[in-house]
């Protein structure tokens, strides 16, 4: 599975506390290696649209749209 980061994500990422940015980087590295790793809890969160969530920490999630084999 591929992924792409949008400018909107980069802006939101820049506003996060440093410790959360590091957790996000770690989660993204894990996602690139294995999107189905249990710690990420990658799952569909909308019943009709291809919207997915991945766990960053207990309090933070990243949400993206699946288009083909790419999460945006």
Asked if residues 53 and 62 have their Cβ atoms less than 8 Å apart, the reply is yes
- The whole-model pTM stands at 0.86
Instruction: Retrieve residue 28's tokens.
Output: 């993204």
Q: What is the pLDDT of residue 63?
A: 95
Q: Nearest-CA neighbor of 57 among 19, 14, 1?
A: 19
Q: Taking a C-beta distance cutoff of 8 angstroms, is the pair 50, 42 a contact?
A: no
Digit-by-digit pLDDT tens for the chain (72 residues) are: 889 999 999 999 999 999 999 999 999 999 999 999 999 999 999 999 999 999 999 999 999 999 999 999
Structure tokens at 19: 């410790």
- pLDDT for 49: 97
Closest CA to 18 of 7, 26, 30: 26
Give the per-residue pLDDT at 17.
Answer: 97
CATH number of domain containing 36: 3.30.2310.20
Range of the domain at 11: 2-71
Number of domains in the chain: 1
Q: Report the pLDDT value the prediction gives residue 1, as an integer from 0 to 100.
A: 85
């Amino acid at each position: 599975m591929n992924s792409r980061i949008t400018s909107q994500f980069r802006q939101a990422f820049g506003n996060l506390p440093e410790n959360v940015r590091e957790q996000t980087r770690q989660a993204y590295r894990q996602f690139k290696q294995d999107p189905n790793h249990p710690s990420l809890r990658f799952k569909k969160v909308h019943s009709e649209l291809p919207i997915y969530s991945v766990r960053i920490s207990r309090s933070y999630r990243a949400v993206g749209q699946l288009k083909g084999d790419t999460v945006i």
